[in-house]
């Protein structure tokens, strides 16, 4: 399986990158972003690309993939809707559009968030924009498209968020999160669980196209999942 990861330097992206490099059935892991991860591994190939709204200059490097893990995202704090939409919907839809055209048999997994508004008409600006992004990707002709909506995430394996406010939160919540995860396992996920779930969904699909935290946890537990949603999968 060949996979491409957008946002591999972020917290969730670091998690799925690590799990992809460890997976025996993954032959190639390509990252795409404004900066390289700096990871040294025989499986990895890094593509540094500054204009994330235009992929024409690197199209030759975006074909031949079985799965895309789109983990790129920004906080909506301090942004108006126009700018947040440009950075969230604009980048994700541009990447998904070119990948769908070049890799029609691909499984595309988009990391959204708990509380995303599929109606696109709710009160929360970020939730409306995320909902529009999800809906657009779900309507593309991928072999499979899945939306991941994690809530609270516990970083493992020395992984850190790039967002300063999040790093501060995790610093103070370091000892609380393991307790919360053991008490509320369907609401608190680890970066390892999310990475394993993405790989398993890419391998076998999942009966839902939108995965909330409890679904992500279930997908991480077993690599053999029922296929009921959309199209053939790698390994089937």
Q: Which residues have a Cβ under 8 Å from the Cβ of 103 and sit 6 or more positions away?
A: 62, 63, 64, 65, 66, 68
Structural domain count of the chain = 1
CA distances from 104 to 2, 28, 65, 85, 113 (A): 14, 18, 9, 26, 25
* pTM beyond 0.85, yes or no: yes
* pLDDT score recorded for residue 82: 97
Which CATH number belongs to the domain containing residue 131 in this structure? 3.40.50.720
- Note whether residue 141 is domain-resident: yes
Instruction: Give me the residues of the chain with pLDDT under 50, please.
Output: 224-236
- Note whether residue 45 is domain-resident: yes
- Note whether residue 147 is domain-resident: yes
Report yes or no: 20 and 26 within 8 Å, Cβ to Cβ: yes
Domain that holds residue 94: 2-221
* pLDDT score recorded for residue 71: 97
* pLDDT score recorded for residue 169: 60
Token pair listed for 43: 């499986």
- Note whether residue 234 is domain-resident: no
The DSSP secondary-structure symbol of 119 reads T
- Note whether residue 101 is domain-resident: yes
pLDDT digits (tens, 9 = 90+) for 32-89: 999 999 999 999 999 999 999 999 999 999 999 999 999 999 989 899 999 999 999 9
φ/ψ of residue 110, rounded to 5: -110, 125
Can you tell me the distance from the alpha carbon of 184 to that of 186, in angstroms, rounded to the nearest whole number?
6
* pLDDT score recorded for residue 232: 40
* pLDDT score recorded for residue 56: 96
Calculate what percentage of the chain has a pLDDT beyond 90.
76
Can you tell me the distance from the alpha carbon of 148 to that of 194, in angstroms, rounded to the nearest whole number?
9
- Note whether residue 189 is domain-resident: yes
For residue 153, the cross-strand partners are 189
């Amino acid at each position: 399986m060949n996979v491409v990861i957008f946002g591999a330097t972020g917290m969730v992206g670091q998690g799925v990158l690590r799990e992809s490099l460890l997976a025996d059935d993954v032959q190639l892991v390509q990252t795409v972003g404004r900066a390289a991860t700096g990871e040294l591994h025989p499986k990895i190939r890094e593509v540094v690309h500054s204009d994330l709204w235009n992929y024409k200059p690197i199209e030759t490097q975006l074909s031949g993939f079985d799965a895309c893990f789109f983990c790129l995202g920004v906080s909506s704090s301090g942004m108006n809707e126009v700018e947040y939409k440009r950075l969230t919907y604009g980048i994700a839809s541009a990447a998904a559009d070119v990948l769908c055209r070049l890799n029609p048999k691909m499984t595309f997994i988009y990391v959204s968030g708990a509380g995303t508004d599929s109606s696109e008409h709710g009160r929360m600006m970020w939730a409306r924009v995320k909902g529009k992004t999800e809906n657009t990707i779900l309507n593309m002709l991928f072999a499979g498209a899945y939306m991941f909506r994690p809530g609270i995430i516990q970083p493992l394996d020395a992984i850190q968020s790039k967002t300063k406010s999040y790093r501060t939160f995790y610093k103070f919540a370091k000892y609380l999160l393991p307790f919360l995860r053991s008490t509320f396992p369907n609401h608190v996920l680890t970066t390892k669980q999310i990475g394993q779930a993405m790989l398993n969904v890419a391998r076998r699909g999942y009966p839902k196209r939108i995965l909330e935290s409890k679904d992500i946890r279930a997908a991480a537990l077993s690599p053999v999942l029922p296929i009921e949603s959309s199209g053939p999968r790698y390994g089937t």
